[in-house]
Structure 1
């Protein structure tokens, strides 16, 4: 679930919310906030789940532990997250959003999401369902092709 983009209420708004959620990362990427798509996905997890174990981030993003560490390092250097030891398991690292991340969410990402949701309200549920189907299909094709490329010798 994309936390950086709010979802409207039920009814036709639920379809709007689905479309906004699917395209939210793409729009956030283009804002020029110095974070890449993976960084934003990680920030979504941290903002949405609160202090979260690095292993949970790895699972949510489908990244190796080393790649997850690189993402967390980038977000930490950008002042968006902080790390601490888990009091219940000192070998585990917890990642939490900083005030800067919460400010960026409130000042940048949420208004973008609201504006996008408002623009999508001009379309009926059937049109949005078609758009959503296209976006999901396009994403599935991209994921399948990425898996194919990763499997190449």
Structure 2
């Protein structure tokens, strides 16, 4: 399975602007810029999209883990807070914190803790920063 997203950036870092799109059409020429990434401008940014992906992926992974334990959650709510820090003259994603609230009437605490730990370690987005990154680069002149 492969999923695609694309970005187009025009101009310099601080005065330029870009647009992000996904094949599904959920994002279509969604605006991003220096201001949306490093200030409080209107639009999105790559880190916000990674946080959203992590929250969604973790929630589904937790549902699967709980299901394997014979537990069906009524609701899983996850907020991912991603930290982007200035490191060695550049920027790096240094942390992601997951705030998770799960409604399981009569839930078992030990089974819940085991499922959340496994989902955190094994959801595909949790693993992404350890992924092999390949690239094809073409210079257009």
Shorter chain as normaliser: what TM range? Answer: under 0.3
Q: Which one has the largest radius of gyration?
A: 2
Q: When the two structures are superposed, what TM-score results if normalisation uses the length of structure 2?
A: 0.26
More helix by share: 1
Higher relative contact order (CA 8 A, sep 6+): 1
More strand by share: 2
